[in-house]
Amino acid sequence: MQPIETKTNLSSLNDKQREAVVSEDKRLLVLAGAGSGKTKTLLQKLIYLIEEKGVSPSSILAITFTKNATNEMIDRLIISADQTGEYEKLLSDKRLSKVDKDKERFQQQKKYKWIDGLTVRTFHSFCYSILRNYGVNEFDNKFRIIGDEKKTEEDELSKHVAPETVFEVVHKLLIEQCEDTEFLLQLKRYILDYIIDKIHLKKTDGKYLPKDGKYFTTLDGTKVRSKSEQFIADWFYRHSIKYEYEPLLNVRDFDFHPDFYIPDANLYIEHVSDKSFSTKDKEEQFKKGNLLLVKTYENMTKDSALFNHTLDKVVKNRLPSNYHRTIALTYKEEFNGYHEDVKDFVAQIMRITDMIKVENIDLDFVLENARKDQHERVRNFYELAIPIVKRYVHYCTDKSYLDFNDLISRSTSLFQNQEDIANKYKSKYQYILVDEFQDVNNLQVDLIKLLLTDKTQLFCVGDDWQSIYGFRGSNVSYIVDFEKHFANSKIIKLNLNYRSTQNIVGASNEVIKHNKFKVEKDIKASKKSEHKIVVYSGVSEEENIQFCLDKVRELQDTGLTSEDILFLYRRTHMYNPSSYSSRPSYSKTFYKEGIKVQAKTIHAAKGLEAKVVFIIGLTEGNGGFPDIWLEDRIFQVIKKANHDLLMEEERRLFYVAITRAKDKLFLITEKGNESSFLKEIPETFTVKTSISIKPVVEKVITCDKCYSQLEKLWMVCPYCGEKVNEQTNREE
């Protein structure tokens, strides 16, 4: 390809990067493989627009996903403008705090007017400024930000943070809702059934009863043996009727335990189920003692209205006329001892609230769908949760609170309803650059589309192979099917990896080939190396830890620092098990031995790189990697989960992990339980190592003459008649 003549120095770019930078296409996606310089290309595009095309910085909008990404972008622009090189030295100075570096960044940004004139923002920060300036038309523009935790960092958003978190608000609203006695009891029943007694959802057969006899927990905390007995006990509790469960009784002939006794009515209730033993002998005893006995039956419980009526008739009519039947329940008393379980329930409400907002689904529609679900638990959850979500939405509106999803959806709504404001932003930003486009969700794409005109140039960079945030609502289809979502678009692929060696790149290419939903790319490595990927299979976790410990020591002896070595894992427990776990631990062992390395989950390591990378926990099955976790069915009411798509995301996560390594890569597994991902890497890229399992040793006695195998107690060989020498033992 003939180099394009430019005033801007583009000599540091390869052909594909240069093509992307100088492109005049109105809708351009730069598909950049790992380590192919996508951020460099985006920043060079920005500089090119200003220097070459004479574009005003104020007409450029660069959107990122995190504050760190925004800071990195500004840092690299400052470094490119700073002729002295002092700013780059300052950033690498470990003696300076983050606060000091943030202050210096701010000052440097103001120093270079062209950088200061740019709009480089996260999605949330950008929407924040829109609503702060024009939100009076859509919301209260004096709103405050409500998040999962109180912000401690100093930035634009932190100045207007709500005094309470999402959790605190939802928890408070739940307690208020519990002032309705019926709701309170339904919530308690849900928590007892599906959180406290969840073990019993698996097996209901009596033989699976735990040794302590626990079966179902009633509203007052009594442990009963069946669901129908639980129903009866709950009915007593709801009507403030005191009862005894399985009291000891001896009338005449023998000891026995009737199911329930109501002291104030002097009434015994025997509940007969399909699995009950004959009650004939018990009934005889009641007659002899002239005691009042009422029998209820399992099939009656199938019709709750009928059963309620039966109990009402049987029990209430036998209570004194002045019997106190009102019930006064409080949240504090009812959930004493269940606070952590309530927190779990609140966390689930927060999760579905986020999902509903990202998917932009009507709350009543969600509830309607949930009511059709075949599972009682799912139906019950949404009957309890949706009223709380509605209260939360109203509460936030009343208090002028917006969460992060609200920031985007309200901005989108503002543009849709206020054409003059939408046009103001459309005319302001002629160039929109989006980093990490593979991570966009529905709300973010809607916002981008509302900013576009026929004249706007949209420049997106990303890698569908690194889309790993599906659980947060990101939708990989926007980058895979970019041309469907953005008409008259063009795609340029950056296929040269500058980070990793050819073995690492080759292995990562082979792994990702197994995904069906992707854009094909032919990624090549610019770095050559003789180092193959080491696959180590220990026979135990202890052995794997020892191997890694020895390797880290070897690497550090060659001059590598803790910054050069990165340990990656799918779940935190793989590196640092919980304190109550007896499992051997990488973190504890390394700490004990005085070894320092970087250690992160793969999600947290996105965007990082290291000279040497260890990926641990590469085993099959539960707790390994891939870790296909089809989340609770509760969430599938809002968004269906698909096993194959989840597997593809797991594979993309493995791809991200592999491509963090620059020079050396170690894959740690267990003998006989290797991750299926390892089988996807051709042996040409790897060297496999392990401590061999000792061969099975067996004592065998053979005849010295005919070499026939003999039994231990034989004195004479039955095959040749030779006398057996007691010392004739051979190991085979």
Per-residue pLDDT tens digits for 657-671 = 999 999 999 999 999
Length of the chain: 732
* Dist CA 685 CA 647 (whole Å): 23
Element (H, E) at 48: helix 38-51
Q: Which two tokens stand for residue 114?
A: 């062209």
Is residue 358 within 8 A of residue 443, CB to CB? The reply is yes
Low-confidence ranges of the chain (pLDDT < 70): 1-8, 150-158, 198-214, 274-277, 301-302, 304, 322-328, 630-631, 691-699, 726-732
Query: Which pLDDT belongs to residue 727?
Result: 53
Query: Which pLDDT belongs to residue 695?
Result: 62
Q: Which two tokens stand for residue 441?
A: 């969700």
Query: Which pLDDT belongs to residue 23?
Result: 95
Query: Which pLDDT belongs to residue 226?
Result: 79
Mean pLDDT, the chain, whole residue set = 86
Non-local (6+) Cβ contacts of 385 within 8 A are 348, 349, 352
Is residue 553 within 8 A of residue 545, CB to CB? The reply is no
* Dist CA 144 CA 402 (whole Å): 6
* Dist CA 660 CA 662 (whole Å): 7
Cis peptide before 247 (omega within 30 of 0): no
Query: From the CB of residue 418, how many other CB atoms can be counted at a distance below 10 Å?
Result: 14
- 517 residue type, one letter: F
pLDDT digits (tens, 9 = 90+) for 585-614: 999 999 999 999 999 999 999 889 999 999
Is residue 499 within 8 A of residue 34, CB to CB? The reply is yes
